[in-house]
Amino acid sequence: MTIDKRPSGSYRIRQMDNGKVYSVTVPYKPTKREAYELIQDKINHRVNVSMTFEEAAKKYIKAKSNVLSPSTIRGYESLLRSIPDDFKAYDISEIDDYSVQMVVNDYATDHSPKTVANFANFIITVIRLFIPKTDISVTLPKKIHKEPYIPTVDDVKALLNASKGTEYYVPLRLATLSLRASEICALTLDDLKDDTLTINKALVRGSNGYVLKPTPKTDKSNRTIIIPHDLAELIRQQGYIYNKYPLQIDKYIRRTLPKLGIEHFSIHKLRHFFASYAHDLGYSEALIQHLGGWNSDVMKRVYRHAMNVDDAKKTMANDFDL
């Protein structure tokens, strides 16, 4: 058995057993008895799994590729790329709390608490797929609660006025009616009948560019809405709804808002605006859930007491004619 001090100041205990080297890293100098007990505990709880963390992570991502959304898979691949090479080279059976905590600490220096939590959970989940009984845990930075900026009616009207005559006017108006950017970019003229718009698919970013999903984000996202008549006529006149990608809408918003003296918000915040404005107009939470295609257990319970949905769709077309 050997005990080595590492450049980080931690101590690594190593011992060979049946041709395999086992190691434990601790943030203090252990006594010989402590080192013996720690390494024996590691040997006694050994697992018959031998692969690097990178190999395990790639297998995990591949196993999830057909059941998770392309954007989630893309997020996993991005997290894997951000993990240091020396950590990716670790054998997963040798990864312990301290080694995970150290890589999380480094990542936390320039990432938000939420992103750090996703980073740590990804690492631990990968390990637990192959070593189910692992009890690795880490301390995460405290979340910073920041109220998101939701655009006001005046903000939205100013943005819509500025976008008139551009290719962004239609998608921005649709966003104020609760549509996600991925839903807007998937729409075709075939989805518009009279003033009724059918939302039943989404254009999402995958590992190799954008792909058309035959279903939107959740089962509740399949829906129809009635849009203002002037908007429906404009769409028919121009011959398309929107023929670019979601990020280009956000880029337009980012360029335009400073000129209007408005605090920054993304296209997704227009969906939040829809919910907030509809609430102010007196729409029930159940109706907001239905019209916006949200999937919420809380709202589901309220939805049983909703007013007539068809009437609400017609009312919405007038109320949101901004």
CATH number assigned to the domain comprising residue 277:
1.10.443.10
Q: Are 249 and 133 in contact (CB under 8 A)?
A: no
Is 290 found in the same domain as 187? yes
pTM here is: 0.59
pLDDT (0 to 100) of residue 307: 41
Radius of gyration over alpha carbons of the chain, in Å? 26
Is 291 found in the same domain as 162? yes
Is 238 found in the same domain as 168? yes
* Domain final position from 130, 163, 197: 130
* Domain final position from 130, 161, 179: 130
pLDDT (0 to 100) of residue 167: 95
Give the total number of structural domains in the chain: 2
**Nearest residue to 64 (alpha-carbon basis) of 185, 192, 207, 176:** 207
Residues 293, 297, 302, 306, CA torsion sign? positive
User: Residue 135: inside a domain, yes or no?
Assistant: no
User: What's 99's domain CATH number?
Assistant: 1.10.150.130
pLDDT (0 to 100) of residue 120: 95
**Nearest residue to 168 (alpha-carbon basis) of 246, 108, 59:** 246
Is 287 found in the same domain as 172? yes
pLDDT (0 to 100) of residue 206: 74
Long-range contacts of 105-111 (CB under 8 A, 24+ apart): 107/82, 108/140, 108/141
pLDDT (0 to 100) of residue 310: 64
pLDDT (0 to 100) of residue 163: 96
* Domain final position from 67, 95, 130: 130
Is 291 found in the same domain as 170? yes
Tokens of 156: 């939205």
H/E element, 3? strand 2-5
Is 314 found in the same domain as 171? yes
pLDDT (0 to 100) of residue 18: 78
| Residue 218 to residue 225: CA distance in whole angstroms | 16
- 57-93 burial, b if ≥16 CB within 10 A, otherwise e? bbebbeeeeeeeebeebbebeebbeebeeebbebbbb
Structural domain of residue 113, as residue ranges? 2-130
H/E element, 210? strand 209-213
User: Residue 138: inside a domain, yes or no?
Assistant: no
Is 58 found in the same domain as 14? yes
Q: Which residues of the chain have pLDDT under 70?
A: 45-49, 133, 145-147, 217-219, 296-312
pLDDT (0 to 100) of residue 228: 94
User: Residue 144: inside a domain, yes or no?
Assistant: no
Is 163 found in the same domain as 112? no
Contacts of 6 (CB under 8 A, 6+ apart): 12, 25
**Nearest residue to 94 (alpha-carbon basis) of 178, 153, 15, 180:** 15
φ/ψ (deg, to 5) at 73? -65, -40
